[in-house]
Structure 1
């Protein structure tokens, strides 16, 4: 087995490990644009309310509370309706910008875009449940020590919500399964280094969001 180094990506403490098969379960996590102080602009006195940061959109996913100043969503219009993808892999929500190529350009707003331009908010909750697969993978740490990794299948919850009204348009609960070992894995600080969780990938929900974003 080859050795791989220990490294950090996007705030995660990464331990790269050599595996025995191809990677089939990727993480959609990421915090990128979801940083800073949460605040929103607007009130009954000074006009329609809009989010000033992606953190403000947490309430759309958690409480179904929209922002009256955001664009109205009309599915009958055959055009792209830009969405903000909010990801939750634990206790907090943050924006996630899918890598280029995962979705057609314009479907999801990026970290440099204004959250107030979104017509939809796609709320993705990862790892709502984890079940051991019983599979154990023989891996190797960066210093050459053998390490056995236990793999887990996970459940996820996907919802599509109107940004302006907070109205839920679609809900789906699915499972991310794989019987293969990862090529490498990244673990967050505090997580068990001997567990690998299969998580939902963009290709698993592209067809589910398309009828709403690009009808």
Structure 2
């Protein structure tokens, strides 16, 4: 990775609010800028169970335990890979500050493969877990601008762990360790209130691991 000051630099603007967006017209966007604030279908809550049925997740955030502890929900649909049909999944992401649901951008996956924020998480057969495991400074610095005030963003390459887990049983079906990196400046920087806006992490994008999860979701 380059650490010289010749890295592309540019200026843009920012919309201030609960979610801030800083612009940089230096290069095409690399990494997933969806941030760590993915939807959770109403917020975190403990897994619930109907009085007359086995336990199911009330919200997507409840699926954290499937990713971290291998604890499934008996009330979720059984997964049978021998059936040549779509086995819907919920995508869970942890960029370092906790697990939340993530919805791939339109066009990244065929319709029905990954449940969205408005879908019921209890309908999933699989949970795809993506966790950042390491971040390394690239030495690249990018000039950005927010409310007319310039600031510098330093970029970081990341390592991640990808897992495909059966939602009902918590059984791990597949695991992969990979890296996401770039020596370019981001076009946008998304930050939430209280987050360090001076750091930009090159994260793996959902479409980057589509071929890895496809054999399980759509065999």
Give your verdict on TM over 0.5: yes
**Unaligned stretches of 5+ in structure 2?**
1-9
- Give RMSD over aligned pairs: 1.9
Distance change (3 Å), C-alpha of 1:36 and 1:191 = closer
- Specify the alignment match of 2:3 in structure 1: none
SS at match of 1:55: helix
**Unaligned stretches of 5+ in structure 1?**
none
1:41 aligns with 2:45: no
- Specify the alignment match of 1:138 in structure 2: 143
1:7 aligns with 2:12: no
SS at match of 1:179: coil
Residue 183 of structure 2, aligned match among 171, 175, 179: 179
- Specify the alignment match of 1:85 in structure 2: 91
Distance 2:117 2:197 in 1: 30
> Do the aligned residues in 2 keep the contact of 1:19 with 1:139 (CA within 8 Å)?
no
> Do the aligned residues in 2 keep the contact of 1:20 with 1:138 (CA within 8 Å)?
no
Distance change (3 Å), C-alpha of 1:6 and 1:211 = same
> Do the aligned residues in 1 keep the contact of 2:12 with 2:25 (CA within 8 Å)?
no
1:96 aligns with 2:106: no
Once the two structures are superposed, residues 168-189 of structure 1 have per-residue CA deviations (whole angstroms, 9 ceiling, x without a partner) of: 0011111110011111211233
Count of aligned positions:
208
Distance change (3 Å), C-alpha of 1:139 and 1:91 = closer
**How far apart are residue 36 of structure 1 and its match?**
4.7
Distance 2:119 2:110 in 1: 16
Once the two structures are superposed, residues 21-49 of structure 1 have per-residue CA deviations (whole angstroms, 9 ceiling, x without a partner) of: 22112234333234153231057xx4322
Distance 1:3 1:134 in 2: 21
Once the two structures are superposed, residues 113-136 of structure 1 have per-residue CA deviations (whole angstroms, 9 ceiling, x without a partner) of: 22111110111113x211111112
Residue 188 of structure 1, aligned match among 187, 192, 198: 192
Distance 2:56 2:197 in 1: 41
Distance change (3 Å), C-alpha of 1:191 and 1:36 = closer
Distance change (3 Å), C-alpha of 1:187 and 1:123 = same
SS at match of 2:178: strand
Distance 2:193 2:129 in 1: 24
TM-score, normalization: structure 2?
0.86
> Do the aligned residues in 2 keep the contact of 1:158 with 1:171 (CA within 8 Å)?
yes
- Specify the alignment match of 2:27 in structure 1: 21
